[in-house]
Amino acid sequence: MAAIIVTACEVWLAIGLTVGLWFILAGIERIDPAARGAYAFRPLLLPGLALLWPFVVWRWRQLARSSGGRC
């Protein structure tokens, strides 16, 4: 049982790191125009993005739908 939990956490964080890096590199400027050029704070976002990645993806998709696919 412990191995299943550890594996699930590893998968969750692997997906979270992938989504977080993708968001930091490609999506943050589309979501928040004030983030343009603010490269020093982006690595600080990665732990939170890795843990909360489903909410990031959900919010990003909502914004893409409301803006007609521009995000």
Domains of the chain by residue range: 2-66
| 33: number of Cβ within 10 Å | 8
pLDDT per residue as tens digits for the range 21-63: 998 888 887 777 777 877 788 888 899 999 999 998 998 888 8
The answer to whether the pTM exceeds 0.85 is no
| 48: number of Cβ within 10 Å | 13
Burial group, residue 56, by CB count within 10 angstroms (0-12, 13-18, 19+): buried
Residue listed under structure tokens 């979270």: 16
Task: Name which of 13, 9, 3 is nearest 53 in CA terms.
Answer: 13
Separation between Cα atoms, residue 17 and residue 22, nearest integer Å: 8
